[in-house]
């Protein structure tokens, strides 16, 4: 029967119906609802994928649990750096003990790590208590995969080498009622020499602008005031759709959506950041005063080896242009320390860029060798102790600067989108400025999801303490 429905998402709707009946039957037997838990590793893309996965699980009748002692546990994995992989292996041992207590428990793995054949081999061999494995290209199939697992008696593995289609219109369960990620494209074509993403997320595919705009309109109707447009390299959005469109044009169209208040986007590759986009950021009032612009290294020689296709000088020029157009913009970045062949002089070039740009914050990473990437085969891998010293020096500088620049709006009133109750201070709430800096101020749950005027009384380095100016 199910072989007959080929078309998506109809095929998945069929499996969701089948699963609804199965889950209802199981929960009748158990005399309680079946519970599920998704543990998400890695980036915003994974976080958004997990919302889609949870949407499917809730549609078929699972109730979200707040611990891994659940009937269905799914790990949405990351493999950008090796420590993310190690964490997953470590936790799989723990899940085995939970499964001994609840033999009906289902354990599923998905995400970037599962796109690596060596990982699948290892799980098959050493972690036979895993029930379902799928990858990054077929998350929409979750209901069908659980159905197959429940109807059979062995591990279900379904990994695709490449995406076949972008499946629209499946359920999504958002983590926040007032803000949401929106995928605008999937995959990456850049092949930075250290990075595994192009191998595990496949080639660049853009969603149609009309699908993106329709999704955002639906979100706004449902109470969303802030969207984060997501893609591995949003600046090359729109080149592979029927009627090509630029990211700048998309931003302008999103900016027109009534009821939407804030637009963020991630991630921008410096090599593709156009003048047109800078103008769009300047002109579009809803686009937040924040740009994440990964540097990776400040040494033009290392940038060449990384295949980043820009230089220290062109990066700094770009920063100047952006700041000329949007003077108060907050800049954040990603930096890798210890790329193969990085000398002390190369590292000092990175420090130099950090001092010149003065980032609001920077994610700093120790280079992690990813098998299959060009950099993994490079000679001159930098010794661990040398990397550690550089990493500490960089982190200290980044934090010092960040503490200085984050206070720039002290003693002014700013718009804050309230996100949650403050988890450290009773009677306080936590929100963000348009430039993404965190603010804590007195308030209650009724403010969550609202944009309010807050007077910034005290700069604490990475955040402010304020008071509501109502
Ligand atoms: N080692 C360390 N950091 C990496 N990143 C990507 N690949 C690696 C790697 N092999 C970092 C980059 C990227 C961020 C998401 O992760 O800085 O921008
Ligand atoms: Fe990786 Fe470079 Fe693509 Fe970013 S742009 S995902 S760092 S290959």
Pocket perturbation via mutation, ligand 2, pick of 80, 188, 191 by most ligand atoms within 8 A of CB: 188
**Ligand 2 centroid vs 405 CA: distance in angstroms?**
28
First to last CA, the chain: 61
Strands (E), 232-386: 262-266, 290-292, 330-337, 361-366
Name 90's Cβ contacts closer than 8 Å, sequence gap at least 6: none
Q: What pLDDT sits at residue 470?
A: 60
**Ligand 2 centroid vs 283 CA: distance in angstroms?**
28
Q: What share of the chain is helix, strand, coil (3-state, %, to 5)?
A: 40, 20, 40
- The β-bridge partners of 453 are 415
According to DSSP, the β-strands at 132-134 and 361-366 are unpaired
Q: What pLDDT sits at residue 374?
A: 97
Nearest ligand, measured from the Cα of 350: 1
* pLDDT by position in tens, the chain (length 470): 555 788 999 999 999 999 999 999 999 999 999 999 999 999 999 999 999 999 999 999 999 999 999 999 999 999 999 999 999 999 999 999 999 999 999 999 999 999 999 999 999 999 999 999 999 999 999 999 999 999 999 999 999 988 888 888 888 999 999 999 999 999 999 999 999 999 999 999 999 999 999 999 999 999 999 999 999 999 999 998 989 999 999 999 999 999 999 999 999 999 999 999 999 999 999 999 999 999 999 999 999 999 999 999 999 999 999 999 999 999 999 999 999 999 999 999 999 999 999 999 999 999 999 999 999 999 999 999 999 999 999 999 999 999 999 899 999 999 999 999 999 999 999 999 999 999 999 999 999 999 999 999 999 988 999 998 76
- The β-bridge partners of 134 are 158
Pocket of ligand 1 (CB under 6 A): 80-81, 194-195, 294, 296, 334, 336, 365, 367-368, 370
The protein residue whose alpha carbon is closest to atom 1 in ligand 2 is 195
Does pTM top 0.85 for this prediction?
yes
Pocket perturbation via mutation, ligand 1, pick of 42, 81, 198 by most ligand atoms within 8 A of CB: 81
**Ligand 2 centroid vs 13 CA: distance in angstroms?**
34
Nearest ligand, measured from the Cα of 373: 1
Residues in the chain, total: 470
**Ligand 2 centroid vs 166 CA: distance in angstroms?**
21
Using CA of residue 62, residue 3, residue 49, residue 107, what is the dihedral sign? positive
């Amino acid at each position: 029967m199910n072989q007959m429905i080929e078309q998506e998402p109809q095929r998945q709707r069929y499996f969701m119906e089948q699963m609804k009946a199965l889950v209802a039957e199981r929960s009748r037997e158990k005399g309680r609802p079946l519970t599920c838990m998704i543990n998400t590793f890695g980036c915003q893309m994974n976080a958004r994928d997990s919302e889609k996965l949870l949407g499917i699980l809730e549609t078929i009748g699972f109730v979200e649990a707040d611990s891994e002692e659940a009937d269905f546990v799914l790990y949405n994995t990351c493999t950008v750096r090796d420590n993310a992989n190690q964490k997953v292996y470590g936790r799989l041992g723990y899940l085995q003990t939970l499964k001994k207590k609840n033999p009906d428990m289902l354990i599923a793995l998905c995400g970037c790590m599962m796109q690596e054949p060596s990982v699948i081999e290892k799980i098959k061999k050493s972690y036979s208590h895993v029930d379902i494995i799928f990858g990054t290209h077929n998350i929409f199939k979750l209901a069908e995969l659980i159905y197959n697992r429940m109807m059979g008696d062995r591990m279900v593995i379904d990994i695709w080498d490449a995406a076949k289609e972008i499946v629209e219109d499946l359920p999504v369960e958002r983590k926040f009622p007032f803000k949401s990620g929106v995928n605008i494209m999937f995959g990456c074509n850049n092949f930075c020499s250290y990075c595994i993403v192009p191998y595990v997320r496949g080639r660049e595919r853009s969603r149609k602008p009309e699908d993106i705009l329709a999704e955002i309109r639906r979100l706004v109707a449902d109470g969303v005031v802030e969207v984060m447009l997501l893609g591995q390299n949003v600046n090359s959005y729109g080149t592979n759709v029927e009627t090509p469109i630029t990211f700048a044009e998309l931003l302008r169209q999103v900016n027109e959506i009534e009821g939407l208040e804030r637009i963020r986007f991630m991630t921008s590759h410096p090599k593709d950041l156009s003048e047109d986009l800078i103008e769009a950021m300047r002109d579009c009032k809803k686009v937040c005063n924040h740009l994440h612009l990964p540097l990776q290294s400040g040494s033009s020689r290392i940038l060449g080896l990384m295949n980043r296709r820009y230089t220290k000088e062109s990066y700094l020029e770009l920063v100047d242009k952006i700041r000329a157009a949007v003077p108060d913009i907050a800049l954040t970045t990603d930096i890798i320390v210890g790329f193969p062949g990085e000398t002390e002089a190369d590292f000092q070039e990175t420090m130099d860029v950090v001092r010149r740009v003065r980032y609001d914050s920077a994610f700093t990473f120790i280079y992690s060798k990813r098998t299959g990437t060009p950099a993994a085969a490079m000679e001159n891998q930098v010794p661990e102790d040398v990397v550690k010293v550089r990493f500490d020096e960089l982190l200290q500088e980044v934090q010092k600067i960040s503490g200085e620049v984050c206070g720039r709006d002290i003693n002014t009133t700013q718009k804050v989108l309230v996100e949650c109750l403050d988890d450290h201070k009773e009677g306080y709430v936590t929100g963000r400025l348009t430039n993404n800096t965190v603010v804590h101020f007195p308030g209650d749950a009724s403010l969550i999801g609202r944009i309010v005027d807050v007077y910034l009384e005290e700069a604490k380095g990475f955040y402010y303490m304020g008071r509501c100016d109502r």
